[in-house]
Amino acid sequence: MIRQAAMAVALLATWPAAAQTDDMANPAFLWVEEGKALWSERPRPGAKSCADCHGAAETAMRGVAARHPAFDAKRGRAMLLTQRLDACRVEHQGETPFEPESRRQLGLAAYIALQSRGLPVAIAADGPLAKTVAEGRALYTRRIGQLDLSCAQCHDDLVGRRLAATAIPSGHVNAYPVYRSDWLGMGSFWRRLGNCTTGVRAEAFAPHSPEHVALESYLAARGNDLPMQAPGFRN
Amino acid sequence: MTAQFLPRRQFLLRAAGAAGFVLVPGLWRPLGATPAEVKAEIAKLVGEAALRPGLVKLDLPVLVESPNAVGMTVTAGTPPAGTRIQSFHVFAAANPLPNVGHFHFGPRAGRPRVSTHIRLADSQTVTAIAKLSDGSCWSDSVDLLVTLSACLD
Amino acid sequence: MTRVLIRVPKTVKPGQEFEIKVLISHPMETGYRRDHQGTPIPRDIVKQFRCTLDGEEVFRAEMFPAIAANPYFFFHAVAERGGTLRFEWSDERGTAWRESAALTVE
């Protein structure tokens, strides 16, 4: 049985030279390639592709991931980048939202985030998003779970200390979505959040729930000015 | 009892014990290959020839924090006149299967080199062997430490 | 689904070494893991990978479960004249995949 590798003709010689060496070693770029294809794919005849409305992602999406989550005036609420994608999927393409953590959702989010690589994180945290950021901060410092721990106790007070084999990171989200070798795949901040809430034996938050949106908004704002690194690689 | 009242080490251990943080050991059965198994695999490859140190260079981090994808590069110096390097063979003695990979270089290869990502079950010695066209075998080893929960003691 | 990413230079100089990088989409299931119900997940790995230039071998890898998920290979090749680079890989269940890339030498 021989299968011609389907959409695989990905000769990436056109990528920015500086990024080349490391990118190929990061399997996240297998997802990025899918997101790139999805960008100009029409979901069904007559429907518009992302590219039909937005044009080239390299210009249209530059800086977009760096300023998300953002407050959406039209809808009157904070929106994550993945919620944006869903909004366009539903309202402009007439399709159903992306399945959380699917290859398509992660691929498209990673492809869009890549267009902001190196730019400083720029969350407008003191405008109308401030309320959501404050809610996120409150959640971040609240003790939860059977272990009765807050995110802050680990990610502010114990940064660099070891939890089993793992050094506790400072909990930034500028590299998300990331490829993780122990997931054997990619995941968003929401998936990582699930690992941390399970870790302290707390109930997980649903994807795109108010808690998820608030925590991601707070963490993104807390990382303002850091360079965007998505899609990241975590062992 | 809340974490606040635990000594820090115990606090960390306890938090680590909770599901979601310690994912690594699940990837492998706990038992590694036996030294005899590794010797047998290497003997299969080397045959009667003596295994000489040198020529081949194995690059691996000495301290491994995340053993699911460890960057590894194998390269080699210039082989003795009249010979060429045919292949590299990598063995990880403490993995459940000592074989990691066999890498062959054909007539269209440039300088023999392979970089890839490997999995390591535990702290151990990893060995790379270069096999030459005259049948001689050269080796390089790296002793590395995989940081598992044991290091909290 | 994207099955592979391959990076080769568009053009190379005759006799001058160049780099090839390949990233294959595959879980490389070791056979030692269990799912949430405790059932062992069967071993499923890419066993062979081979790169040739107009039929002549550049690089070949025989893999074991110790190769990480989504196998990545970086190796060197040399070409005197242009041709077709072929990439073939297969798992232990008899599924095989292939991809090719044109190489211009000038």
Report the topology of domain B31-146. Answer: Immunoglobulin-like (2.60.40)
* Tens-place pLDDT, residues B9-48: 444 444 444 434 443 333 444 456 777 778 888 888 888 7
Residues 42-71 of C with CB under 8 A from B: 52-53, 56-69, 71
Asked if B15 and A200 come within 8 Å (Cβ–Cβ), the reply is: yes
Mean pLDDT, rounded, for A72-100: 97
In this complex, the chains that touch A, judged by 3 or more CB pairs closer than 8 A, are: B, C
Q: Quick one: closest CA in A to C95, which residue? A: A1
Q: Does B25 touch chain A (CB under 8 A)?
A: no
pLDDT of residue A19: 33
CATH number of the domain that residue C91 is part of: 2.60.40.10
State pTM to two decimals.
0.85
Report ipTM (2 d.p.): 0.95
Q: Does C1 touch chain B (CB under 8 A)?
A: no
Mean pLDDT, rounded, for A160-182: 88
Helix A103-114 / helix A28-39 crossing angle, nearest 10 deg:
90
> B99 pairs with which residues across the strands?
B91
Asked if A165 and B24 come within 8 Å (Cβ–Cβ), the reply is: yes
Q: Identify whether A53 is a catalytic site residue.
A: no
Percent of chain A at pLDDT exceeding 70: 90
Computed over every residue of chain A, the mean pLDDT equals 89
Q: How many domains does chain C have?
A: 1
* Tens-place pLDDT, residues B125-136: 999 999 999 999
pLDDT of residue C54: 94
* Tens-place pLDDT, residues C30-72: 998 888 888 889 999 999 999 999 999 999 999 999 999 999 9
Q: Does C55 touch chain A (CB under 8 A)?
A: no
Pick from A4, A34, A181: which is nearest to C98 by CB? A4
Computed over every residue of chain C, the mean pLDDT equals 94
Pick from C23, C28, C99: which is nearest to A29 by CB? C23
Nearest to C64 by CA among C104, C95, C40, C32: C32
Q: Which residues of B touch A146 (CB under 8 A)?
A: 18
Residues 188-217 of A with CB under 8 A from C: none
Nearest to B91 by CA among B24, B142, B26, B147: B142
Q: C interface mutation test: which of A1, A7, A11, A20 has the most C CBs within 10 A?
A: A11
- Cα gap A107→A168, rounded to integer Å: 27
- Cα gap B61→C73, rounded to integer Å: 18
Domain spans in chain B, listed from the N-terminal domain onward: 31-146
Nearest to A114 by CA among A180, A54, A61: A61
With beta carbons less than 8 A apart as the criterion, state whether A178 and A231 touch: yes
pLDDT of residue A163: 78
pLDDT of residue A165: 67
Q: Look at the alpha carbons of B42, B46, B49, B52 in this order and tell me if their dihedral is positive or negative.
A: negative
Is residue A78 predicted with pLDDT exceeding 50? yes
Is residue B148 predicted with pLDDT exceeding 60? no
Residue C85 structural domain: 4-105
Pick from A147, A164, A199: which is nearest to B3 by CB? A147
pLDDT of residue A32: 96
Pick from A161, A181, A198: which is nearest to B66 by CB? A181
